[in-house]
Structure 1
Amino acid sequence: MSTPRREPRRIPVPGDVSRVPEIRDEWLRHALSTEPAERGTGEAVISELYALAGQSPPEFVRASSPAAAVALIPPAQTLSLGGDLPVEGRIATLVTSLRERLDQYIGAWRNRYRQPDPPRDGASVREFLNNGVAPALRRTIRDSVAGALRGELATSSGLHWYGQQDAYWVAHYDLHQRVDGVRFAADDVAQLELWATLARSCGWWWPRENVCVVADRPLVVRTEQLPSDYGEARLHNGNGPALAFSDGWTVHAWHGTRVPPWVIDAPTADRITGERNVEVRRCAIEHVGWAAFIEDAGLRLLARADDPGNPGSELLLYDAWPEPWRTPARLLLAVNGSVERDGTRRRYGLRVPAGFDHPLDAAGWTYGLSGAQYAQLSRRT
């Protein structure tokens, strides 16, 4: 009796990584969209998530911005006598469980077939997606854009979701399906599509018992591209708000750092020297330029010297502006020894003790060295 011929196991071939930029940019467009929200679509999908959480569809309340939404959110619900989570807690459990299962599929898929991925600069497709594209999407969408909005809210707004800015994690799983060849369970694909539809159709939303507050998308989103293989960007606008909503609520950002509006709209030496936040002060000075700031602030140049730790650059020592809450100091102006993420070398100022008269002594002090020791450096970073 002959043994039936066994067909060779079909091994899925991962997609072409050349498709990654197209798919990544598709999700970035949704995450940064300023188009009017698709209200009917968003409300229908949120109602489906309520149903999955065992809750009837809510009444929807629209808000023109996340800031306006905060004032409309009902008080947070506590656990019921039976220990049941409020609806926002049940939705959080749904999405957490979904993402855990999808992550398991991705790991199991590779472990099962154990087929080497086509190399891309020595990295596998999975490494390229997990360690390159996914972190870049997270930094661009969640950390830079959503993070700036979250930081600008005056009060905590409780458990909520980002709508279009949840695209950073939706895109991660979509890329694994369309490029890496991973196949998820049908029910999980259907639930992932609900979150994908929300990312394509609405802004931030706050689910509560019987009521869901949904914010409109912004009218303005301004970002700058970073030199990266993964398409990373960050929030930035040197001529106005980086984010703006129809009700006039705005967020200003300078090369990824959230700043008060005056840093962009009206930076002056008086405002800069009176600012206690070092990062805000740095951004304002970068905006006006060190030369203009030094002239406007009336800082006096005391000495200058070539920087032995950064060939081709100078160290400049100035009298620093007085700060009532700090001891007298001087300002050492230097050029960063390493390149920033945007490809430039930042010029920066350091407050050093007022007793220094020579730039090398001041520069050495910042490294715990004497001026003579600092002069022997071949390169600093």
Structure 2
Amino acid sequence: MRASLPIERSLTAEQTTALGEFRARWAAVRRSTTPADRSAAEQAVRLAYHAAGLERPARIVWCDSPLALAGRVCRASHDDGGNVRSRLVDHVRRRVASLIERRVLRKVLVAVENSVNPADPLVTAVAEAVIRSVPEPSLSMLGHLRCTGLSWSGVLHAIIAPRGFASCAAGPHDLSWLGVYDYLREVLRLHAETEPLCGLMQLASSVGWLQPHARTCWLAERPNLLCGDARDRLHQADGPALRYPDGWSVWAWRGVEVPRWIIERRDQITLAAIDEQMDVQVRRCMIEIMTPECYVALGGATRIAEDETGILWRRNWLAADAWAAVEVINATPEPDGTRRHFFLQVPANLRTAREAVAWTYGMRAEAYAQLVQRT
């Protein structure tokens, strides 16, 4: 009888140290802005199709952005075949996961997953921005019939097949889980079990987005610009936060997608322009870019309350749509003896300046008042 293989029950100190290396490696893969390695990506496509039991695609088509990719796929025909994302990615993943679970305890797998593939808000934000920009459905039922052919099986596939871009394509956020299997392969030496994923690993490391069909695989370049703030939100103060080689771009302020002119022609942000903006989040971004201090000075907000802690300002548009900020004075004087005024944005339902200042410290007004009295 064949001896059973050992089960990994815990990680050694050396293996634990390696978690950080693979975490950094795959964070770099997800956030890469270098041009795609087209040769490596095309080789990886063929390996991945083979591992999924699919014939290698007759055509590999490159696009300069995921938006361009979606546009090309909308014109897919019978010659391109049906979408095979689930077979290429999901089925292979489940097959490999089943093999891995026989060799590694669940608690070890969870520890590796949490360390190597943590949540990545910036990459998630990019994916959401891309998906929002793609018209849905990206491929109609008629489009599926053009790909699969007019037959009973084709009609059935057209009815049940996913048609949205999010379910038919795959981006860096969809493939980040491969970092876990890369670690299991390289560090725990589970080569045989992870072999079917080698093509996908190489593909994820070499390309931006992909949309695989039976006979055509569309690949998209990575962005050549990706900017975020300290909280990993899409953000760039003087230009696009996300840009692809064909010029398709997204402008964002602290995680909120905004029209281009708000970032690049901020001198056109006026009180009237702010009032005319229907999107609440975009409106608040406009005030932040103008600066709350300037907004108040121009008469955009009304003084609601004042006490020894500061001044509470508010602007109401509708019952559930308002903006507020508390104006406070820096306790430390400047070299010339003056004291700087700061405007801190706060929830619009607060009623007093003390309550607003307390909120900025994560405290209730009563607790904050006691703290101030003691100090």
After TM superposition, the structure 1 = structure 2 runs for residues 142-221 of structure 1, keeping only pairs within 5 Å, are: 143-157=124-138, 158=165, 159-162=167-170, 164-179=172-187, 181=188, 183=190, 186=192, 188-221=193-226
Return the TM-score normalized by structure 1.
0.66
Q: CA shift at 1:76, angstroms? A: 6.7
Q: Is the 8 A contact 1:27 1:167 kept in 2?
A: no
Q: For structure 1, list consecutive stretches of 5 or more residues without a partner in the other structure.
A: 1-5, 79-85, 113-123, 227-232, 307-313, 336-345, 367-373
Aligned residue type for 2:248:
W
Is 1:21 the counterpart of 2:20? The answer is: yes
Q: Which one of the candidate residues 92, 98, 103 is aligned to 2:92?
A: 98
Task: Please give the alpha-carbon distance, in whole angstroms, between the structure 2 residues aligned to 1:129 and 1:144.
Answer: 24
Q: More helix per residue: 1 or 2?
A: 2
User: 1:2-13, aligned counterparts within 5 Å?
Assistant: 13=11
- The 5 A counterparts of 1:281-292 are 281-292=283-294
Deviation at 1:218, TM superposition (A): 1.6
| CA separation of 1:215 and 1:294: change in aligned 2, threshold 3 A | same
Alpha-carbon shift at residue 135 of structure 1 (Å): 3.0
Which amino acid in 1 is paired with 2:190?
Answer: R
Say what the alpha-carbon RMSD is for the aligned residues: 4.0
> 1:214 is paired with a residue of what secondary structure?
strand
Mapped partners of 1:328, 1:28: distance in 2: 39
**Superposed, which structure 2 residues align to 1:48-197 within 5 Å?**
48-51=47-50, 52-74=52-74, 87-89=82-84, 91-111=85-105, 126-136=109-119, 138-141=120-123, 143-157=124-138, 158=165, 159-162=167-170, 164-179=172-187, 181=188, 183=190, 186=192, 188-197=193-202
Give 1:363 shift: 10
Aligned-partner Cα distance in 1 for 2:62–2:246: 12
Please say if residues 262 and 286 of structure 2, whose CA atoms lie closer than 8 Å, have aligned partners that are also in contact.
Answer: yes
Question: Is the 8 Å Cα contact of residues 62 and 220 (structure 2) preserved in structure 1?
Answer: yes
The alignment status of 1:348 with 2:330, answered yes or no, reads no
| Offset of residue 194 of structure 1 | 0.8
SS at match of 2:208: coil
Question: Aligned AA for 1:318?
Answer: W
Q: 1:330 to 1:215 in 2, by over 3 A?
A: closer
State whether structure 2 residue 325 is matched by structure 1 residue 320. Answer: no
TM-score normalised by L of structure 2 = 0.67
* Equivalence map 1:328-367=2 (5 Å): 331-334=323-326, 347-351=344-348
Give 1:147 shift. 2.3
